[in-house]
Structure 1
């Protein structure tokens, strides 16, 4: 009976093949859409410039002492008394080297105002929600819905990322040359036609960019559900948090003649770390919350993992600091996740690789679908 049972049970390879097939045909369509929109987002800078014009570039060197309060005053004179939420230093905005102010406008829309950091004058503005690139970003990150759907959509997209990693694992197993003939496995077969050529294309699309694709899937899942991964990271490294005792030492209202301005906060932080550049000033909506100044060190990764300086909102004094030089492994990990997902931390070359990797997903889905349809057709002919 044992040989008969073994004959009836599917082999391990067949189980992997069926798992790969049905995951690819179902989850693969949505993954293809995610990959396509991800490739479009690599061109975000160019799309934004087409939509809103050349309002991001500033001639001349970036000033070492940014006049943040002047930028804010000029923006308010030009566009009204907007509720500011943050100031991005020159070079840390969506594109170009202009400074960017973020504000909330009518109807809870989000305004972005670009500023010439040398003259302090506004260059232009646009509403974030109205841009095509924003629509693509929301589609890519499943954020186009609201309410109860938002949380469910994030979970669904995160599980899609997990499905993609399973697809890649099963695909690698199925592709792996059992005869160790790597030349044949890594090249298109000469004279191959029809199904054989489709299979070669389907395999090689992914194999050559396997590592970048896996990085994009893993970092994408982390963006959506960091709580799945953070507990594991905390086993070896616990992220630092600002000293709650120091943050509680906010001055009483009226303790100083005027409240601390974003410009004063930036100046205090830069005086403490003169070799750093201003990345951002986060302006709290609550009156008793500190202003947070983010400074970019020379080895800056992005808006994560930077030195964070917490400033008293009533009197211009530093409450506490999270120094980038003392960063622990958990903070370094979080600092590199975004640049890894955006360009693999390889600059323009990385963006080109991410662009190609995104296109591979729809191409793989199409070739996989054609292979499945061809197999069904052959079965019907045989029957």
Structure 2
């Protein structure tokens, strides 16, 4: 890794609602939608994004930071972010009829490439913006249409992966019908960013008004945990070892529960012989954004990932130093912009400052490991240098 690469700050978890997509959401009368309503003081109107039915607080206010590229660059400049890998934010295309989804996905992917291509560049060889494309993962969309979308994304120079929800075409990501799609993504070398949207049923949150806290802090990570576990149990990572899967929000609860998962697999006749490896081993095959907000949490994820291959039969246990290096090499900085803005325009975003402080605060990491999480790991994964 070159000195220039080590100094990059790369944001792999940063969202955008491009104008074409925002216009679609404005045209809708049911969630997901962008609606207009009077401001609290009655002096004007504001737009609010509602992505789920019965969403707390009537959705969240939206504005230019959600679709204006200059606002994205301004945010990056304010926080010293060199490169962003942008992705359309949830709910992607899940709600569309099958007849509409493929053409819209194609148009939005072309929009994303243009959004990145006309951005300022760091150098002749390095843009400031790259992107995850969209697949039309909607029930009844035929697999050939999904494969055509993979090929189209792979042909666009600034699209380096796909963002994917947890439901696939409705039956989940472990749906056997998606097997050709996983194979195509692996062959193309596209990074798959697995991101939650639905959480867990709202009936679990009780009657007390707690805003977005429970669905976002707990529901989203649990959704990611379940979806990834289903992929592991289905053998997708065994059949496609070159598949590069990036998990949002530091992998949810998967690192914390990986040993429990391994024990349950080993004791269950239905799955005990299904996997080629100990269930904990698969953590070392995954990538995790570093949106953990705390150094202890980040260090724990790195430790679980770092020791993953020691659970392979006959493997020698690595030294603690080697485990740290392996674990940190699978972590990538992210901000979740434009969500969770500061209360004052002059403030820096806590999603930036807290996640950078977490990287800086992990005990035992070398400067090279910290710089890897800040940007070097992403530069290698996305082929930026």
Higher RCO, Cα 8 Å, sep 6+: 1
Q: How does the TM-score come out when normalised to structure 1?
A: 0.24
Q: How does the TM-score come out when normalised to structure 2?
A: 0.24
Query: Which is helix-richer, 1 or 2?
Result: 1
